[in-house]
Amino acid sequence: MGSSIAYHLIRRDTSLKLAVVERDPTYARASSALSMGNARIQFSLGENIRISQYAFSALARFEEEMIVNEIPPNISYRREGNLMIIDPDMTDAAKQAFSLQQELDCRVEWWSSEDIRQRYPLYRPADTDSGTFGTEDGHFDGYAVVMGYRKKAASLGAVYLQDSVTRILHGNGHVTGIETASGDSPAAPIVINCAGAWAADVALSAGIDLPILPIMRQVFAIDTAIKPDGPLPLTVLPSGLYFRSETGGLLLVGKSMDDDPVGFDFSWDDKRFMDVLWPEMAAFVPAFDRAKLVRGWAGLYAVNTLDSNAILGEWPELGGFYLANGFSGHGLQQAPAVGRYMAEVILNLPHELDLSIFSPKRILGKKPISEKGVI
């Protein structure tokens, strides 16, 4: 988010004095680098759908747009589809989301269990199952996208400072700058909080209480004895368990669970895969009952506990303090649209896509936005 916003700001106005303060330029614990890198159209809120429509076009031209010194980034964008298996109890909600997606010209198909079996013969959906398939959904390399934005923003004049923000400075209801761990306190009339899972800590240093929790999510890479004939789409079961093909003949598997630890915990646990995820996956794809766990990792969702949606814009009670936070499990794909929107808001430009529904005002008013497709 930090580098996307920096890029979108500075491409509009190269005279801006803009610094991105990042404490870890390797991004080893940044959610963007630890993400599944999925982009999907299958949301139920119009704005989230439109954000993804923009992501599809921005990702398709990303390598060309982010060329620096004639070297394009390689983001490995693969559009292998997303298949959401519908919980029979949620069929009405799925139908509503599906018709909205169709109204908005999205390429999504409704499949019966027979359609699912025909397309993916290893799958064993129940006869009563159905699914929606987003033909343009897919995945990309999140770290490469971060670096693409970073290098392009830097080439246009954004400065990258390796430091940790310890405090937001303010006076008379307006931001005045930041204080950093190295002892610097640069002045700035505008500060944008893009601290991901650490966003609540940064905001708290200005006395602002954001409903954002860091929650650990784990991903596992497995090598199955039986391989599918072609790539498997990101397949999401009603329980929330998901898997998809990864390069090297591997599969990535994950699931958000109610007892996932809250806090800055990056330890992953193979027992969770063995005890919970594997049996659940093998019930849907019996061919995967023989597999080797190759590796795993843990990253953090910045969960917006009010409504699991983005918080975008200026904090109503502190002038010049902007938020791009709370993306929960779907922020990486939102980086292009959020970067563009935040730049428009800050530079007072007309909006290509109005995202004011995500305004921080709803946090103060405790008015959640409804999105039934969020994972």
Ligand X SMILES: Cc1cc2nc3c(=O)[nH]c(=O)nc-3n(C[C@H](O)[C@H](O)[C@H](O)COP(=O)(O)OP(=O)(O)OC[C@H]3O[C@@H](n4cnc5c(N)ncnc54)[C@H](O)[C@@H]3O)c2cc1C
* Smaller CB separation from ligand X, 2 or 233: 2
Nearer to ligand X, 7 or 327 (CB): 327
Contact 153, 14 (CB under 8 A): no
Report in angstroms how near the CB of residue 114 gets to ligand X at its nearest. Answer: 28
CB of 80 to ligand X, least distance (A): 13
Shortest CA distance to 220 belongs to which of 255, 184, 181? 255
Q: Which two tokens stand for residue 130?
A: 């159905």
- Measured N-to-C along each axis, helices 2-12 and 335-346 cross at an angle, to the nearest 10 degrees, of 50
| Complex with ligand X: residue 210 or 219, whichever CB lies closer | 219
Q: Contact positions toward ligand X, by CB under 6 A?
A: 1-2, 21-24, 27, 30-32, 34-38, 164-165, 194-198, 202, 217, 219, 299-301, 327, 329-333
Contacts of 203 (CB under 8 A, 6+ apart): 168, 193, 209, 210, 315, 323, 325
Whole-number minimum distance, CB 88 to ligand X, in Å?
A: 25
Token duo for residue 169 = 């400075």
Count CB neighbours of 82 within 10 A. Answer: 26
Q: How far is the CB of 60 from ligand X (least distance, A)?
A: 16
95: left (phi over 0), alpha (psi -120 to 50) or beta: alpha
Given CA atoms 267, 141, 43, 194 in this order, what sign does their dihedral have? positive
Say if residues 142 and 32 touch (Cβ distance below 8 Å): yes
Give, as one character, the DSSP assignment of residue 17.
Answer: -
Dihedral angle over CA of 219, 225, 229, 234, nearest 10: -10
**156/168 with CB nearer ligand X:** 168
Which of residues 118 and 185 has its CB atom nearest to ligand X in the complex?
185
Minimum CB–partner distance for residue 234 and ligand X (Å): 8
Helix locations, 256-355, DSSP H: 270-272, 278-284, 335-346
Smallest distance from ligand X to CB 247, Å = 16
Separation between Cα atoms, residue 11 and residue 152, nearest integer Å: 9
Structure tokens at 56: 């599809």
Return the number of the residue (226 or 233) whose C-beta is nearest ligand X. 233
Q: Which is nearer to ligand X, 94 or 338 (CB)?
A: 338
Q: How far is the CB of 253 from ligand X (least distance, A)?
A: 11
How far apart CA 119 and CA 115 sit, in angstroms, is 6
Tell me if 185 sits within 8 A of 179, measured CB to CB: yes
In 3D, which of 289, 272, 271 has the Cα closest to residue 281?
289
The single-letter code of the amino acid at 268 is: W
Indicate the residue whose CB is closest to ligand X: 331
Cβ closer to ligand X: 80 or 289? 80
Return the number of the residue (42 or 101) whose C-beta is nearest ligand X. 42
> Taking the complex as a whole, how short is the minimal distance between the CB of residue 117 and ligand X, in angstroms?
26
Q: Are the C-beta atoms of 184 and 44 separated by less than 8 Å?
A: no
Shortest approach of ligand X to residue 360 CB, angstroms?
A: 15
Alpha-carbon gap, residue 242 to 81, rounded angstroms: 13
Query: Closer CB to ligand X, residue 30 or residue 86?
Result: 30
CB of 252 to ligand X, least distance (A): 9
